[in-house]
Structure 1
Amino acid sequence: MITILGVGLESRYIVPVISIRWHYVDKLCHFWNNNFMLNLSDLTAFARIADLGSISAAARSLAMPKSSVSRSLMRLEETLGAVLVERSTRHLRMTDAGLLLKQHAKRILDDVAEAENRISGLIGKPSGDLHINAPFTFAVGPLAEMLPAFMEYHPQVRIVLSVDNRPVDIQMEHVDVAIRIGPLQDSSLIARRITSFELWPCASPSYLDTRDPIVKPDDLRHHRIIAHADRHETWRFYAKGGGLREFEFSNRSVIPEPDVLKAMLMKGAGIGLLPDFHARDAVEDGRLRRVLPDLSTGCVDVHALYPSHRSLSAKVKVFIDELIAYVATV
């Protein structure tokens, strides 16, 4: 039994696969028994390189300089006396020793993280790195607004924020909590609802004042519509007293990024859907007007996701709780 930071690791963690020479196993055993606590950060860097297939990607994921990640890899290789990654100008390739270390490093790091989570939960003080992933619109809106106070109240938590509109594999990229907008895909992740918002059809006064008036959804057919995600899109309008109206259109311009769409709408590009929290300031100061404001487009849910294979750490729980509390006030 090997004990690392209070976590018991069974001897199976150092059992080699058949194709690996015993020389590497002896080296790894010596490394874990004698050098592990001094090289935990190096092991983390190696695991990220192995997962992402690139030193540059690993550095971005860890919010570290590329040179520091490279040095971590070289220190590991020097300690083990084995090449872990074969490098070329075009790609990286894991050696047999690297594949063995990758296999066991993930389990070790997961166990260490689990121990930290449980200890943090016991003492009730959030601490350590909190890796957050969020889409750009939410990151520059509610998230950017609540994080300064969160960082002030929890100085032992180091925020590492990645902003990305693409679906990120949060387990592969070691994200603690991810913010997702819209329908969720089935997965092993735990989801907690943060808030919901409406999509407002908006346009600039300069555009609306020079076009035919819009009093019902069908009137939109005579206007320049900018789609969010697909040229063949359907907008649904719900009346307060009940009833549904649908407006379908095709062959329209597609602008998937809300910040770009908002800027274009304010310049008179046409009519588009914006999240209410993103459009509210421009509507209130007159740069944009809501179209068909008496009809609702329905609500879009926002969730926080975190891996199910780990207990909920104090830092993740506090972050989600405070984010929910903040968005409820705006």
Structure 2
Amino acid sequence: MDLNEAAVFVKVVQAGSFSAAARLLGLPTSTVSTRVARLEKRLGVMLLQRTTRRLHLTDAGALYYEHAATGLGHLLDAEAAVTESAGEPKGLLRVTAPADIGGYILAEIVRQLRHHCPKVSVDLVLMNQYVDLVAEGIDVAIRTGHLKDSTLIARNAGIARWATFASPGYLKSAPPLDAPQGLRHHCCLQFTPLGKEAWTLANDSGSVTVPMCGQVLVNDVRVIRTMAIAGEGVALLPRYLCRLECDEGRLVRVLPEWHGKTDPIHIVYPRQRFVPPKLRVFVDLAAEELRKWLETP
């Protein structure tokens, strides 16, 4: 029995293709394909049906994957247990987070991790779309919004509440803004994932939806913030993302009794029997740093 063949087969199934598995394993695609073919030859059955678009498990392949993945999981648990007993965080930690979570927040999390764990290397990948952590070989993710994958372990780090902001310079020359309906008379800098047609704001009494004219539409919240600081209009932004600018007087919160949507923020990682020290330390540090900026539920 060649455990390398089994491990490669499991990775191919998890990644969804030979090329994706090859990238994760750091092997040529031809090597990955050869090892799976050798495994099928040794077992005397076809495990994967190959098409031009994707792979399909045969019945035998599904049965083999179920047991092989479990067995390899136990081997990984055994190695993790040994590392856990050593108690020293080390090795590469791959982290993904939204690009708009705040550069200074992420930089501080990485700085603290490097300070506390000098033997841990960090690969921080910023992206706004969800990825399969197992298939992409990512150890941990910071995610905003409601979680979609219930198979992940999630630690709540707080909530991000959205509110309206503008620069003092813009407000000096703009019409008064005392109620949400007054936004119709302002240039509103719209973050398109929130909607192109309207903003919905709420307070203790209820909510109101204000139609937008769509003068400025941007799909990057960091650009929206920069434009608001430059005096280009009113922006609906996460409060934590504007805290420093408000402290420095570059932004002012308008309509302070009203707020936009509320996003929970979690630190998530794949379910595993033994949590490696590097991952455990990162989750603790990241949760503590995020709590400094976010609001409690």
TM-score scaled to structure 2, two decimals? Answer: 0.74
Match of 1:230 among 195, 219, 223: 195
Question: 1:249 is matched with which residue?
Answer: 211
Instruction: Within 5 Å, give how 1:123-138 maps onto structure 2.
Output: 123-138=86-101
Task: For 1:207 and 1:56, locate their aligned partners in 2 and report how far apart those are by CA, in whole Å.
Answer: 52
Show CA shifts across 1:305-327 (max 9, x none): 22335443433222111112223
- Which runs of 5 or more structure 1 residues have no equivalent in the other structure? 1-29
Instruction: Within 5 Å, give how 1:184-199 maps onto structure 2.
Output: 184-185=147-148, 187-199=150-162
Q: What letter matches 2:79 in structure 1?
A: E
Question: 1:147 is matched with which residue?
Answer: 110
Within the alignment, does 1:215 sit opposite 2:178 as a pair?
Answer: yes
Q: Does structure 2 conserve the Cα–Cα contact (< 8 Å) formed by 1:203 and 1:266?
A: yes
* CA drift at 1:103: 6.5
* CA drift at 1:165: 0.7
Task: For 1:319 and 1:327, locate their aligned partners in 2 and report how far apart those are by CA, in whole Å.
Answer: 12
Question: 2:44 is matched with which residue?
Answer: none
Q: What letter matches 1:31 in structure 2?
A: D
Determine helix, strand or coil for the equivalent of 1:209: helix
- Which piece of structure 1 moves more, 225-234 or 315-324? 225-234
Task: For 1:93 and 1:186, locate their aligned partners in 2 and report how far apart those are by CA, in whole Å.
Answer: 22
Question: 2:238 is matched with which residue?
Answer: 275
Identity of aligned residues (%): 28
Question: CA 1:107/1:250 → structure 2, altered by over 3 Å: closer, same or farther?
Answer: farther
Question: How many residues of Structure 1 are paired with residues of Structure 2 in the alignment?
Answer: 285
- Which runs of 5 or more structure 2 residues have no equivalent in the other structure? 42-46
Q: What letter matches 2:196 in structure 1?
A: R
* CA drift at 1:150: 0.6
Task: For 2:231 and 2:19, locate their aligned partners in 1 and report how far apart those are by CA, in whole Å.
Answer: 40
Determine helix, strand or coil for the equivalent of 1:213: coil
Within the alignment, does 1:31 sit opposite 2:5 as a pair?
Answer: no
Match of 2:32 among 60, 73, 80: 73
Show CA shifts across 1:211-235 (max 9, x none): 2111122211222321443224443
Determine helix, strand or coil for the equivalent of 1:231: coil
Q: Does structure 2 conserve the Cα–Cα contact (< 8 Å) formed by 1:231 and 1:249?
A: no
**Greater RCO between the two (CA within 8 Å, min separation 6)?**
2
Determine helix, strand or coil for the equivalent of 2:244: helix
Question: CA 1:85/1:183 → structure 2, altered by over 3 Å: closer, same or farther?
Answer: closer
Match of 1:285 among 248, 251, 268: 248
